[in-house]
Amino acid sequence: MRRIFLVVAGLMATIPSARAAELWEFIRVGKSFAERPKWDSRSGKAAVEVKNGRIDIRVSFSDDQDSSAPDKPGYESIKIVGILGSDNSIQATCTFPGTDRNPAKITGRYITRDDVEIWGQKRKIVTQREIVFSHPPNFEFFGFLKKDARDE
């Protein structure tokens, strides 16, 4: 029975749709009008899932997270759901749960690039994945970043 469970778990790990959303770094830059108009930035974590041409992003800010679990997203502050085009463009709808802000249509880009880095005696291929959204009329910017490294 234990062997069957291990085989099933191994097969599920190889199926892309069975994987959970990945945790990405997130930054928001926008105007703050609390005291006077000024640029403000906030960072956090985002659970990003790309599956079958759809993209689903759930954002929580660092100051909203449970301090005992820094690598897990906390309260969902922003939700982005959209379609990933063949040219890596993204057409999405952005909502702000728990607020009275209206949903907004946003466009973005999904960018990947590989760099070769030398870590001591090992050569690594570092894959950087970025998702960038500028909120019309460009007073807000959402950026997501994920880095993965593997041996060359």
Where do the structural domains in the chain lie, given as residue ranges? 20-108+137-144
Q: What is the predicted pLDDT for the residue at 139?
A: 73
Name the helix (H) or strand (E) containing 115: strand 104-119
Cα–Cα distances in Å, from 17 out to 14, 42, 70? 9, 31, 25
Report the C-alpha gap between 97 and 83 in whole angstroms.
20
pTM listed for this prediction: 0.72
For the record, the structure tokens of 143 come out as 């950026």
- Whole-number mean pLDDT of the chain? 80
Dump pLDDT digits (tens) for 81-93.
999 999 999 999 9
Q: What is the predicted pLDDT for the residue at 98?
A: 85
Q: What is the predicted pLDDT for the residue at 2?
A: 54
Whether the Cβ atoms of residue 132 and residue 109 lie closer than 8 Å to each other: yes
Q: Look at residues 78, 49, 54, 73 and name the one whose alpha carbon lies nearest to residue 63.
A: 73
Pairing of strands 122-135, 22-32: unpaired
Report the C-alpha gap between 109 and 94 in whole angstroms.
15
Residue length of the chain: 152
Give me the residues of the chain with pLDDT under 70, please: 1-20, 63-75, 135-138
Q: What is the predicted pLDDT for the residue at 144?
A: 94
Q: What is the predicted pLDDT for the residue at 13?
A: 45
Dump pLDDT digits (tens) for 47-57.
999 999 999 99
